[in-house]
Amino acid sequence: DRGPQVNPSILSADFANLQAELARIATADAAHVDVMDGHFVPNLTLGLPVVEALQRVSPVPLDCHLMIEDPDRWAPAYAEAGAAGVTFHAEAARAPVKLARDIRAAGGRAGIALRPATPVEPFLDLLPEFDMLLVMTVEPGFGGQGFLDVTLPKIRRARAAIGDLDVRLQVDGGVSTATVERAAEAGADVFVAGSAVYGADDAAAAIGELRDLAAR
Ligand code: DX5
Ligand code: ZN
Query: What interface predicted TM-score (ipTM) does this complex get?
Result: 0.99
Residue 43 in contact with ligand 1 by CB distance below 6 A: no
CA 49 to chain centre: 19
* Strands across the sheet containing 5-8: 5-8, 190-193, 168-172, 132-136, 109-114, 85-89, 62-67, 31-36
Per-residue pLDDT averaged across 59-75, rounded? 98
Residue 12 in contact with ligand 1 by CB distance below 6 A: yes
Predicted confidence at residue 126, as pLDDT, reads 98
Per-residue pLDDT averaged across 184-200, rounded? 98
CB 51 within 8 A of CB 77: no
13 CA to middle of ligand 2, Å? 13
Per-residue pLDDT averaged across 41-70, rounded? 98
Q: Measure the CA–CA gap between 17 and 184, rounded to whole angstroms.
A: 32
Active-site residue, from 63, 131, 172, 189: 172
- Does the pLDDT at position 1 exceed 80? no
70 as an active site residue: the answer is: no
- Does the pLDDT at position 53 exceed 80? yes
The CATH number of the domain holding residue 175 is 3.20.20.70
Active-site residue, from 34, 37, 63, 189: 34
Q: Hey, which residues does 111 pair with through a beta bridge?
A: 87, 132
**Who's near 178: CB < 8 A, 6+ residues apart?**
147
State how many domains the chain has.
1
Residue 192 in contact with ligand 1 by CB distance below 6 A: yes
Mean pLDDT of all residues belonging to the chain? 98
Residues spanned by the domain of 67 = 5-215
According to the annotation, is 9 in a ligand binding site? Answer: yes
